[in-house]
Amino acid sequence: MLPVFVVNNFGQFNHLILRMLRDLDIGARMIANSMPPEEVAAGCRGLVLGGGPDLSRAGNAGAYLDLGLPVLGICLGLHIIATRFGGTVSRGRSGGYGPVEVEIVEQDEILKGYPPHITVWASHADEVTGLPGSAVRLAGSSICAYEAIAVPDLHIYGLQWHPEVSHTGNGRLVYENFDRITREYGTS
């Protein structure tokens, strides 16, 4: 079975995404966001777009959304998804990393198994402020309306928070759900 690629967008937690996938016995490999899209399409069954400093350093990550693969975007990965599909990203009001109480408003397959309210670890230096027309809102908080979104028909998901860090309760469930999605809808 092909691995899941973790796209390195220069974020400080991308290595933790790879580690969590491997700890869950999910075949995974870190790639640079400069890898040509055709090589990405041929080499994996799904993508995790990792975090990073800002959209200007996203490389080819936006083009990867056109490959027909399941995608999970984390923090900057969410912003890449939102802007690629016509949404907007703006400077957040709350700034740096910290705990956030999130309300799940739509139980989609990526958030399957979570209770209606969870505590997560997130950065809101930038955040989605306008939802793309093809996307649905999955979760929000008192400081950010779009903590999680999905483009369900394409099996593309984005989270503002970091499920790979220990401060996020049961974060591994997101990656287990994504593994199941890639096995069902990704390239084998």
**Span 150-182, pLDDT tens digits:** 999 999 999 999 999 999 989 999 999 999 999
Predicted pLDDT at 97: 79
pLDDT in tens, 129-140: 999 999 999 999
Per-residue b/e over 144-183, b at no fewer than 16 CB within 10 Å?
Answer: bbbbbbbbbebbbbbbbbbbbbeebeebebbbbbbbebbe
| Active site positions, annotated | 75, 162, 164
pLDDT of residue 84: 97
Q: Is residue 179 within 8 Å of residue 128, measured between CB atoms?
A: no
Domains defined along the chain, listed by start: 4-185 (3.40.50.880)
pLDDT in the model for residue 156: 98
User: What pLDDT band is residue 188 in, cutting at 50, 70 and 90?
Assistant: low
